Structure 1
Amino acid sequence: MAATTTPLCDFGWKAVDAKLPAVDGRTLSILELAGPRGLVVAFICNHCPYVRAVISRIVRDARDLAGVGIGFVAISSNDALAYPEDSFENMRRFAAEHTLPFPYLYDEDQSVARVYGAACTPDFFGFNAAGELQYRGRLDASRKEAVDQGLRRDLYEAMLEVARTGCGPAEQQASIGCSIKWKTPA
């Protein structure tokens, strides 16, 4: 399985809103999930080995960021027909299994992933309180390893800076993961 990396942060790019179904049965607006100091929009999926290796740290960081006023939302945009493990029903199971403390939304038509330019899972977009992109990078340096001993919490530290100053760090490391599983055009 080839790894895909994300592009560099396009500082100031404005977050785009959409209403998507959540695994808890609600339909939620992405931007309404922002905290008073910002928002992380994470593109993930259920089957990706990169996501599976770090999901406990994503959950930890989302909980910790909520404490400083940063909202968090995860979106799955993968083609569930070609990748049944990423179906909406399996998203519900994944959310329950990992006790996700944030909404997990389904982008069935992949329009949200396209407008954000999501490249891989996981792919993190960190916005300030004005909805301006300030971070597009990795969770940490672990890649597919489940161990996080001594790793710098890149996403968490960047979003703390965003919460304090409204600006993200100039130096950012790209996220790496499985490519978004795009639907084949009809």
Structure 2
Amino acid sequence: MQGPGHGQRRNPPAGGLNHPLSPRASMSPPMEPGSVAPTFNLPNANAGVGQDSVSLADAMGKNGLIVAFTCNHCPYVVGSEPRIEGIAEKARGNGMGFVGINSNDPVMYEADSWDNMVKRAAKGMTYPYLHDDSQEVATSFGAERTPEFYLIGPDSKIEYRGRLDDSPRDPSHARTSELSDAIDDLVSGSNVRTPRTESIGCSVKWKN
């Protein structure tokens, strides 16, 4: 098999948090702005960007990191894809990392399986696409929906949690830009003007 960044990804290695956690047996309190972001180390389905597995430390840029809980099947994600790529580009241009994390149960939605993640990433995705098969990372963050975004500062504290904007399925109806605004605030050294919004999207598909 070819090395990281080339060819196709092999089946994902085990990955997750740095400590055992059962997502369904013990739900963690959600991470809110001001909390220190949980660490992770997850297999990467995007052969074109990043290594075979990516940790929070690997993904962190000098000015921070955006973690996007996402998937393949959700129409709110599909409707947002060009804007998600745009915000990833903006993040990189401002010295921030960007990763997508898929935590959905592929038994419920086969479109969200590892193999389909690999296929989706091969269609030009510009950021690591990480597989949270155990759902431990979604649990540790308290993620509820796809898409849902966490802007993390270089000190690993969460500066923003919530939506990209107010119309994920239809960009023509978007009237807000909270995540983009939060990036601007963080980079300028200002307090994030709106650190918390409610995400709009599909629920995370938890395993039984």
- Tell me if TM exceeds 0.5: yes
Match of 1:141 among 166, 169, 173: 166
Measure, in 1, the Cα distance between the counterparts of 2:63 and 2:159. Answer: 12
Determine which of 127, 138, 151 is the counterpart of 1:113: 138
Greater CA drift, 119-128 or 147-156 = 147-156
1:10 aligned residue: 32
Partner residue, 1:180: 204
Cross-structure match for 1:67:
93
The 3 A distance-change label for structure 1 pair 166 and 30 is farther
The percentage of counterpart residues that share the same residue type is: 38
**SS of residue matched to 2:62:** coil
Note the 1:1-186 alignment, pairs <5 A: 10-23=32-45, 24=47, 26-97=52-123, 99-145=124-170, 147-148=171-172, 151-165=175-189, 167-170=191-194, 172-184=196-208
Q: Distance in 1 between matches of 2:37 and 2:196?
A: 19
Q: CA deviation at 1:166?
A: 6.3
Residue 4 (structure 1) aligns with: none
Which stretch shifts more, 149-158 or 15-24? 149-158
- 1:20 shift after superposition: 0.6
* Cα distance between partner residues in 1 of 2:173 and 2:200: 19
- Classify 1:166/1:69 alpha carbon distance in 2 versus 1 (closer, same or farther; 3 Å): farther
Using CA pairs under 8 Å that are at least 6 residues apart, name the structure with larger relative contact order, 1 or 2. 1
The 1:29–1:8 alpha-carbon spacing in structure 2 relative to 1, beyond 3 Å, is: closer
Counterparts in 2 of 1:15 and 1:171: CA distance versus 1, 3 Å: closer
The answer as to whether partners of 1:134 and 1:168 remain within 8 angstroms in 2 is yes
Count, aligned residues: 176
Alignment check: 8 A CA contact 2:66 2:91 kept: no
Distance 1:118 1:17, change over 3 A: same
Q: Which runs of 4+ in 1 moved over 6 A?
A: none
The DSSP-based 3-state class of the residue aligned with 2:185 is helix
In the superposition, the TM-score normalised over structure 2's length comes to: 0.78
CA deviation map 1:80-108 (0-9, x unaligned): 122111001111111222x2211000000
Q: How far apart are 1:143 and its partner, in Å?
A: 3.0
Secondary structure of the equivalent of 1:50? Answer: helix
Equivalent residue letter for 2:81: I
Change (3 A) 1:80 1:163: same
Q: Which ranges in structure 1 are unaligned for 5 or more consecutive residues?
A: 1-6
| Contact in 2 for aligned 1:125/1:135 (Cα 8 Å) | yes
Q: What are the ranges of 5 or more consecutive residues in structure 2 without an aligned counterpart?
A: 1-28
